[in-house]
Amino acid sequence: MIPTAIIGAGNMGSALYKGLASQGKTDRIWLCDQHAEKLTIASMDRRINHPADAGKVAECILLAVKPQSFSTLMTTVGNAWAGTLVISIMAGVTMKTVVDATGASAVVRAMPNLGARVGRSITGWHPSPAVTPVQMEHVEELFSSIGMTVRLAEESQMDGFTAVAGSGPAYVFLLAELLENAARELGVDEATSARIARDLLGAGSLLLDGKERSALEWQEAVASKGGTTEAALHVMQEKGLPAIFHDAIAAAAERSRSLSRDDKSH
């Protein structure tokens, strides 16, 4: 494990630190945040108060700060991270921007998702040409502590990945909300409706190993000929749900691209 400082102890930074801690891998990991109360998840010797000090102990800097805070952060850091591996999980911030701001040549852009909070993140990442094989192994080890990892061949693929995997949990939560509302409208009490909606999402566990059946095959297995599921799926197709879903994800990908274009223009 390369000595690493996580800059930012918000939702994602703290989830990553906790994931590493659960595997006993924090002996070379530091946590840095301007709010001291957010550092309490780390032992005293693992805390850094000022980001410029991170480069003194770490060979890898992981940026888990809000994109709009990045410029201000770098005014306090200067070139202190120029010789380190810099990993950015800031949405919409291009690798070029990170290289220009930090002076580092070894840069990785990554996108975990909310599943990190329960060790079930899907993290897509892409390295700059200067990132070494050893550093890539380190990236895999870091993000494997919070779930599965996917190395993307091109940085441009980050937009599609963000639209599907980064935003994906919100789509699942929307489905749960719709299922819960539908159950209540059909006369099921509120508490039971909530339980049903959440437990139904457990069907996703059938897809996890990807060996038994595909999503379409499971769908066909549930939808008996002339049955209730077939009736529901027919309405969804007729009302254009697949097209709506396609257009929604395309809009998310375009928004990701526009954020990157805005980033390049500043």
Tell me what percent of the residues of the chain surpass a pLDDT of 90.
88
Chain segment 83-128, per-residue pLDDT in tens: 999 999 998 899 999 999 999 999 999 999 999 999 999 999 999 9
CA–CA dist 249, 160 (Å, integer): 8
CA–CA dist 257, 241 (Å, integer): 24
In whole angstroms, how far apart are CA 208 and each of 31, 151, 166, 202, 257? 32, 19, 18, 11, 29
Check whether 147 has a pLDDT greater than 60: yes
Lowest-pLDDT range of 8-17, 172-181, 206-215 = 206-215
Chain segment 61-71, per-residue pLDDT in tens: 999 999 999 99
pLDDT value at position 231?
Answer: 96
Residue 254, both tokens: 């375009």
C-alpha radius of gyration, the chain, whole number: 21
All domains of the chain, ordered by start, with CATH? 4-158 (3.40.50.720), 168-257 (1.10.3730.10)
Chain segment 83-94, per-residue pLDDT in tens: 999 999 998 899
pTM for this entry: 0.89
Chain segment 179-212, per-residue pLDDT in tens: 999 999 999 999 999 999 999 888 888 888 667 7
The secondary element (H helix, E strand) that includes residue 36 is none
